[in-house]
């Protein structure tokens, strides 16, 4: 899976540090689906589970502790679009 398929990806930054970028726009309350919302849009959550398992296996193989920073577009709040400054 890659960015072109679903807007998510993983990249090695340095050593055993990885960046996991999720497509969180699809979880926004402002996002409107044209069809019923799939349980796992674009297979992203399954992919995330597999990526984290891969990092755990990498850590246990003696290469050192693999770490990941997980980022996304939309903050993990209930309805951040309603925020008034």
5 vs 70, residue with greater confidence: 70
Backbone angles phi, psi at 60, to 5 degrees: -80, -5
**pTM (2 d.p.):** 0.77
Computed on alpha carbons and rounded to an integer, the radius of gyration of the chain in Å comes to 15
> ∠20-12-9 over CA atoms, to 5°?
35
81 vs 13, residue with greater confidence: 13
pLDDT(10) > 90: yes
pLDDT reported for residue 73: 79
pLDDT reported for residue 14: 93
Express each pLDDT in 24-78 by its tens digit.
Answer: 888 777 778 888 888 898 899 999 999 999 999 887 777 778 899 999 877 666 6
> For residue 46, what are the contacts with CB-CB under 8 A and spacing of at least 6?
40
The candidate with the shortest Cα–Cα distance to 27, out of 50, 7, 49, 52, is: 7
């Amino acid at each position: 899976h890659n960015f072109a398929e679903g807007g998510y990806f993983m990249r090695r930054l340095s050593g055993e540090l990885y960046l996991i970028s999720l497509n969180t726009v699809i979880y926004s309350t402002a996002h409107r689906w044209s069809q019923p919302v799939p349980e796992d849009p674009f297979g992203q959550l399954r992919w995330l589970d597999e990526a984290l398992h891969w990092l755990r296996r990498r850590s246990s193989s003696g290469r050192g502790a693999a770490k990941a920073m997980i980022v996304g577009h939309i903050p993990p709040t209930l309805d951040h679009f309603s925020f008034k400054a």
